[in-house]
Structure 1
Amino acid sequence: MNKATNQSLDSIPKDLDSSKNMVPWGERFSYSLSDFACNLSFQMISTYLMIFYTDTFGISAAAVGTLFFAARFVDAIDGPFWGIMIDHTHTKWGKSRPYWLWFSIPFAIFSVLVFTTPNLGPTGKIIWAYVTYIGVDVLYSAVNIPITSILPSLTTNPQERITLSTIRQFMGTAGATLITGITLGMVAFFGDGSTTSAHGWFIWALIVAIVVAIIFAVVFLNTHERVQTKSTRQSVPIKESLKALKKNWPWVIVIFINFIYWLGMQTRSQVTVYFFKYNMHDAGLASLILSLQIVALVAVVLTPFTSKHIGKRNTMLAGMVLAVVGQLLLSVGANNLSVPMIIFATVIGYLGTGYVSGLIAVMLADAVDYGEWKNGVRAEGIVTSFSSFSAKLGMGIGGVITGWILTASGYVANKTQTAAALHGIEMNYIWVPLLGFGLSAVALLFYHVDKVEKKMQSDLAIKHAKENAED
């Protein structure tokens, strides 16, 4: 026991040595498919559900905004609930991994139901929207939270975590780009040329859901929770797991950033079609602009290199600054109705967000380690579950902001919009996201984990080796 306690980092077993703990390429790719699958459904819902509700299903923008806000109260329970469940799960497949087996098919089913239009009256439509949207929202947490909670169990190597998150983000961005770029075209294809066709939306949602369920089966079969510590081999009581959050300032900062960043991203993404349909008088441009997300892959690929040389905090900060610059340039393009400027601004913005998205999961994994380092409690589930909660809270409030601004400015579906309504759309597309990115950048100035990471990983590696020796 004393020998285990006093051993140097060089003598730590390979599975706990953060300098060696690498993940095979096949498993790296399989892990990345989890985010690809999530983004196929998530981006389709977050980008198109609002305009589907208002222009196809016939629900008012205000009612939709209220729905998105109400769903966030459920998130206040379901995010932490799934995190606690993960911390209490102990199976032959691990703690996080079995959730892809158990909940991918229910999630796929509800991903279809939200784009289904039963013949109901106004009240019935709203009830249907509440049940199906909240259902898909809860089930999304069940399959999405494990993507982040499993990362600390895949490896203890900080650079390998960045590599895994980078590949995951690459595939996630690819999924988002693919689904946002082709959805309107596919809806029109299945809907006899109409992008508001209820039949077109249903068939396309069904195809996407089947693909998502198959991908999650592949992810489950090909990932492994190889980092075994005393806490991962047993259920962690709720009261004990909450100790991991005590004075965990890195966690607080990342959760705040996740909230405000996704608030801004949601307001922009869900009014993209509105902006090009009404402000630019060319709805087809929306697919082109959304397809430009592919440029984010450049930043995603560069993230491991950049993080290695300037640190994770500074890399994400640079991304936030680029996102702010992109929004400012976007305002110039919008004021002049300049498509080239809008395209250029969008490229700059996506380069920035490419640096951001992949590092949030890595920083949460670091927060898991930090909580154990400071408080002696490792609780992957509860620590990472608030990522889903904060992101969906931000997106929900973003939805409320969008709906209320559209309603207050006088938006009327499928009509020529007033100057006030056009300004309301522009507020959602440019200025609310700018505020979110700017506040995120300020919060990053207080993030200092990079400075203590080597010491933290060294101490934890010795702690884990001691626990394994005692067992």
Structure 2
Amino acid sequence: MSGNLLYCIISSYMLYFFMNVFGLSVGVAGVLLLIGRVFDAIGAPIMGILVDHTHSKYGKSRPWFLWGALPFAIFVWLLFTTPDISNTAKIIYAGVMYILADFSYTAMSTPITSVLPNLTTNTDDRMQANSIRLVFLTIIGQIWMGFAGSNTTSALIGWCVACIGAGSACTMFFAMVDDTVDFGEWKTGIRANGFLTAIGAAFCIQMGSGLGSFIVSMLLNSVGFDASHAVQSASSLTGIHLSFIWVPIIIYIISLILMVTYRKWERHEPVVQKELAEREVEAEEA
């Protein structure tokens, strides 16, 4: 939980921190976030393979998330440190610390995620453990904020509604990844928990997060946003409104469509689980 709290701060606050606190331009900040996520996304499947091939008295996953906690905390602290150095050195420092903080989180979180498919074989239990489907709630909250205008109270209500739905949608994703582990074993006979959860969770999340930050930064850059200005131009305010409200709505609608198409694989999951159970019995009897 503590790791996720820190990671959420990084994901939601990093672009603002790079621009308004560290003094980097919006374009440079966006590129750094994208590069960092790409590096981390490449490292995620490697981390998954390492987990799958780990054999210790503590198991496959436990050593990694125990050893990864301290480096993650240190790199997050360094990431939010603002040394008095030249602008070029700031860019290098910010990029290196961001990559190290991201990768140390992946080294800690991938082993934890790889444990989930083994906790239960019941899809309903997984869904209950990871959350319920509230994507519509997120869309409603986003639209609410879009029409809140200057009413701060109304905007905060919409923000809370959207966050409840977004949090549920994010946790639901891990249950879907767990089903792919079952499907992979059913199809190939290999249960690659670490690799598949790293690809399905860490890789996709990191790439999505990096692209999201990059798109927002490029949008703000195109409308002339300047973090050093106390008062932003009308075009900058429009860009902020689009990137904060309407771009996420479009992405959530696309996600909703993909979730509907995923339903057929959910209906196939009982067949997969039944055949895997039969294979396990046959292996024990052999």
Using structure 2 for the length normalisation, give the TM-score. Answer: 0.92
- Listed as ranges, the matches of 1:374-453 within 5 Å are 374-386=187-199, 387-414=201-228, 415-447=230-262, 448-453=264-269
Q: Kindly state the Cα deviation for residue 132 of structure 1 after the two structures are TM-superposed.
A: 0.3
Q: Kindly state the Cα deviation for residue 382 of structure 1 after the two structures are TM-superposed.
A: 1.3
Q: Does the 8 Å CA contact 2:65/2:112 hold for their aligned counterparts? A: no
CA distance in 2, matches of 1:358, 1:56: 31
Of 90, 95, 101, 2:60 maps to: 95
Aligned match of 1:467: 283
Q: Kindly state the Cα deviation for residue 163 of structure 1 after the two structures are TM-superposed.
A: 4.1
- Listed as ranges, the matches of 1:303-322 within 5 Å are 303=132, 316=133, 319-322=134-137
Amino acid at match of 1:129: A
| Residue 442 to residue 158, structure 1, CA distance change in 2 (3 Å) | closer
Q: Kindly state the Cα deviation for residue 436 of structure 1 after the two structures are TM-superposed.
A: 1.0
Q: Kindly state the Cα deviation for residue 423 of structure 1 after the two structures are TM-superposed.
A: 0.9
Q: Does the 8 Å CA contact 2:41/2:206 hold for their aligned counterparts? A: no
Q: Kindly state the Cα deviation for residue 469 of structure 1 after the two structures are TM-superposed.
A: 4.4
CA distance in 1, matches of 2:101, 2:265: 35
Of 366, 370, 373, 2:183 maps to: 370
Q: Does the 8 Å CA contact 2:41/2:202 hold for their aligned counterparts? A: no
Q: Kindly state the Cα deviation for residue 349 of structure 1 after the two structures are TM-superposed.
A: 1.9
RMSD over aligned Cα, in angstroms?
1.7
CA distance in 2, matches of 1:165, 1:396: 24
Q: Kindly state the Cα deviation for residue 160 of structure 1 after the two structures are TM-superposed.
A: 3.5
Amino acid at match of 1:457: Q
Aligned match of 1:85: 50
Whether 2:159 is the aligned partner of 1:346: answer: yes
Aligned match of 1:330: 145
- Listed as ranges, the matches of 1:61-210 within 5 Å are 61-166=26-131
CA distance in 1, matches of 2:115, 2:284: 20
Amino acid at match of 2:101: V
CA distance in 2, matches of 1:358, 1:69: 23
Q: Does the 8 Å CA contact 1:330/1:346 hold for their aligned counterparts? A: yes
| Residue 442 to residue 163, structure 1, CA distance change in 2 (3 Å) | closer
Identity of aligned residues (%): 36
CA distance in 1, matches of 2:139, 2:14: 26
Aligned match of 1:188: none
| Residue 73 to residue 358, structure 1, CA distance change in 2 (3 Å) | closer
Q: Does the 8 Å CA contact 1:330/1:342 hold for their aligned counterparts? A: yes
Amino acid at match of 2:205: A
Amino acid at match of 2:224: G
Q: Kindly state the Cα deviation for residue 137 of structure 1 after the two structures are TM-superposed.
A: 0.8
CA distance in 2, matches of 1:348, 1:56: 29
Amino acid at match of 2:153: P
CA distance in 2, matches of 1:90, 1:466: 25
Q: Does the 8 Å CA contact 1:97/1:150 hold for their aligned counterparts? A: no
Q: Kindly state the Cα deviation for residue 406 of structure 1 after the two structures are TM-superposed.
A: 1.7
Q: Kindly state the Cα deviation for residue 449 of structure 1 after the two structures are TM-superposed.
A: 2.5
Segments of structure 1 that go 5 or more residues without pairing to the other structure are 1-35, 167-302, 304-315
Amino acid at match of 2:237: L
Task: Tell me the SS of whatever aligns to 1:341.
Answer: helix
CA distance in 2, matches of 1:393, 1:67: 13
CA distance in 2, matches of 1:323, 1:155: 28
Aligned match of 1:224: none
CA distance in 2, matches of 1:68, 1:106: 20
Of 7, 15, 20, 1:55 maps to: 20
* Structure number with bigger Rg: 1
Task: Tell me the SS of whatever aligns to 2:61.
Answer: coil
